[in-house]
Amino acid sequence: MPGVDGSVRELEAYQSHVTLPDDFDSFWESKLEALRDVPLSIERMRLDSYVRNVMVEQIKYQSLEGILHHATYISPNVLDESLPVVVMYHGYDWNTHEPHIAMKYVVQGMGVLLVETRDQGMVADQMISYPMGGASGWMTKGIFNKECYYYTNVILDSLRALDVALELSGSRSAIVEGGSQGGGIGLGVSALHPKVKLALIDIPFLCDIPRGVELAVRGPYLEISHYFKVHDPLHQQEKAIYDTLRYIDGINFARRITCPVIVGVGLLDEVCPPSTAYALYRELGGEKELWVYPEYAHGLSSWHEEEKLKFVSNYI
């Protein structure tokens, strides 16, 4: 069955043209070094839980520039510190993570941190400024400066969240899980944090971004297209934009991921074209699995949840 951008045979043969910046490693190491100097400053507040033997907490912690971030931590009353902690990243503007999605791990004795992405939550104490506005949404905020680009900071916030999860749980390793935007974030965290044991990546956003912008007909990639249409119709700034995006592209992160990764893709995905997920999978050098759902778009069959649980069970 053909997908939205080619047959399975064509998708399997496709290879991304995203290139690695010469200073990719030194850029991220400098950012990580700055992040290490920021105290976690974890605040915990217990919330009502309607599930027996499960504790739910609101968590606050600091990232760069002293910005306060929010998350929800769900843990069993009897926590098994020998198991990884799970860190879950949400989709684009989809920060409605509710505790029930963590239960598949909590029943196994693992703690789970549900992470809120900067600017995408409805909280009053997160004041963030950028050196320039954006055409729409978050994709173009600070896009001409990799140092302060929106997703540069999102990746750093997400790395900080993983440190928080390790501190809360006492675990020595972590599993990262995310779909769409959360999948793109999970790739960055898996490439940059040494304690990621497994990565569960669904319908990933921020992978092979030029291809995504070229083919997507719905979703946040259109914010880049909108910028060109309204502010740069001759694409005179295209190189500068894609030069920044190379630093957060999942293709370049994949080339540095060593932990096992499972990737889920829907062949009818019009938000994150399936060829971008195939390109990601090609670049992963370690143990990996690709699960393809021909009749699904930007959202996968519940069957895939079973496959992810099987995948996890092979490594813990």
Q: Which residues are catalytic?
A: 180, 269, 298
Contact 89, 181 (CB under 8 A): yes
Interatomic CA distance for residues 296 and 108, integer angstroms: 29
Instruction: Kindly give the interhelix angle for 181-192 and 150-169, rounded to the nearest 10 degrees.
Output: 70
3-state class (DSSP) for residue 195: coil
For the chain, the maximum distance between any two Cα atoms, rounded to a whole number of angstroms, is 60
Interatomic CA distance for residues 187 and 193, integer angstroms: 10
Interatomic CA distance for residues 64 and 37, integer angstroms: 9
Q: For tokens 């606050």, what's the residue?
A: 60
Q: List beta partners, residue 201.
A: 178, 263
C-alpha angle 90-93-98 in degrees, rounded to nearest 5: 45
Count CB atoms within 10 A of the CB of residue 230: 10
Count CB atoms within 10 A of the CB of residue 141: 21
**Those residues with Cβ within 8 angstroms of residue 218's Cβ, 6 or more apart along the chain or in another chain:** 270, 271, 298
Interatomic CA distance for residues 211 and 265, integer angstroms: 16
Strand 261-266 to 174-179 pairing: unpaired
